[in-house]
Amino acid sequence: MEIHFSLAPKPEPEEAEKGRLLFAAGSDFLKGVVAMDGMPPGDRVEVCFAGRSNVGKSTLINAVTGRKALARASNTPGRTQEINFFTIADSHYLVDLPGYGFANAPVKVVEKWQKLLKAYLSGRANLRRAFVLIDSRHGVKPVDEEIMDLLDRSAVPFQVVMTKADKIKKDEMVKILAQVREALAKHPAAYPELVVTSSDKGVGIETLRSIIAGIAG
Ligand code: GDP
């Protein structure tokens, strides 16, 4: 079977409204977690956001939740790496995974983080989907492949979200999307639709909201 990895369609009005309502109901920071036993009870739909440092993850989470500074915009190398839980209405958790790919992070920090990440991805029964953020200028890099491999092994369906689409021209986007599609074809856990976003221009935000709202509990 050939998978095409098409672009997620613009949501139908009812789907868009469902997404709008979910996020209009309010979002809040719940807690930062450094070990599995600190996780909140898995009593609702959960989605997580992963991506290389500087991919635009905090900015995107802020845009989707409509809150300017919900996700801290700094992921300093060497700082305690926490898995941050946000509540969306009273039905969803949005989970912000620490940015990966710091070239100069200490080995011990990286190892500890990888252990927690593996435990989280394989042990969280209510985790419905991971959004893997890819910078539109750079495409899929080896560190992204690593996280995709881990998601495959953990059987967590993941959907690629292109960020900073405003930074490149249409013809460049076509080339980058071809590279992304080729990379995704190797990953059984890859969801067959991609989302193109620009937090700066508000592109794809409504789509992402309605996708999250549409994930069944
Ligand atoms: P994080 O490390 O993944 O959380 O990345 P940030 O959200 O802190 O963003 C990294 C940099 O990219 C910041 O300077 C942002 O202002 C910038 N950025 C994020 N999203 C966009 C976008 O959609 N368009 C543009 N042009 N810049 C963006």
- CATH number of the domain bearing residue 168: 3.40.50.300
Measure the CA–CA gap between 168 and 145, rounded to whole angstroms: 22
Answer whether 200 contacts ligand 1 (Cβ < 6 A). Answer: yes
pLDDT digits (tens, 9 = 90+) for 92-101: 999 999 888 7
Q: How many domains does the chain have?
A: 1
**In the prediction, which pLDDT does 74 show?**
46
Residue by residue, DSSP assigns the chain as -----EEPPPPPHHHHHHHHHHHHT-EEEEEEESSGGGSPP--SEEEEEEEBTTSSHHHHHHHHHT-TTSS-S---TTS---EEEEEETTTEEEEEPPPB--TT--HHHHHHHHHHHHHHHHH-TTEEEEEEEEETTT---HHHHHHHHHHHHHT--EEEEEE-GGGS-HHHHHHHHHHHHHHHTT-TTB-SEEEE-BTTTTBTHHHHHHHHHHS--
- Residue pair 134/162 in contact (Cβ under 8 Å)? The answer is yes
Q: How far is CA 96 from CA 21, 117, 175, 176, 180, in A?
A: 21, 11, 29, 25, 22
**In the prediction, which pLDDT does 197 show?**
98
Answer whether 136 contacts ligand 1 (Cβ < 6 A). Answer: no
Domain carrying residue 11: 6-214
Q: How far is CA 60 from CA 88, 89, 93, in A?
A: 15, 18, 16
Q: Which of 39-48, 80-89, 106-115 has the lowest average pLDDT?
A: 106-115
In a domain, 178, yes or no: yes
Q: Is the pLDDT of residue 21 over 90?
A: yes
- Give the mean pLDDT of 52-79: 78
Q: In ligand 1, which atom is closest to the CA atom of 57?
A: 3
In a domain, 1, yes or no: no
In a domain, 199, yes or no: yes
Q: In ligand 1, which atom is closest to the CA atom of 133?
A: 3
Kindly indicate the confidence band of residue 114, based on its pLDDT and cuts at 50, 70 and 90.
confident
Task: Report the separation in Å between the CA atom of 120 and the middle of ligand 1, taken as the mean of its atom positions.
Answer: 25
* Average pLDDT across the chain, whole number: 91
Answer whether 27 contacts ligand 1 (Cβ < 6 A). Answer: no
Task: Report the separation in Å between the CA atom of 45 and the middle of ligand 1, taken as the mean of its atom positions.
Answer: 27
Task: Report the separation in Å between the CA atom of 164 and the middle of ligand 1, taken as the mean of its atom positions.
Answer: 7
Q: Is the pLDDT of residue 102 over 80?
A: no
- Give the mean pLDDT of 183-191: 97
Q: In ligand 1, which atom is closest to the CA atom of 53?
A: 2
Answer whether 164 contacts ligand 1 (Cβ < 6 A). Answer: yes
- Residue pair 59/196 in contact (Cβ under 8 Å)? The answer is no
Q: Write the residue with the smallest CA distance to atom 12 of ligand 1.
A: 56
Q: Write the residue with the smallest CA distance to atom 8 of ligand 1.
A: 73
Instruction: Output phi, psi for 154, to 5 deg.
Output: -85, 0
Task: Report the separation in Å between the CA atom of 56 and the middle of ligand 1, taken as the mean of its atom positions.
Answer: 4
Enumerate the β-bridge partners of residue 46.
93, 127
**In the prediction, which pLDDT does 79 show?**
46
- Give the mean pLDDT of 9-32: 95
**In the prediction, which pLDDT does 120 show?**
96
Answer whether 58 contacts ligand 1 (Cβ < 6 A). Answer: yes
In a domain, 27, yes or no: yes
**In the prediction, which pLDDT does 1 show?**
52
- Give the mean pLDDT of 73-96: 78
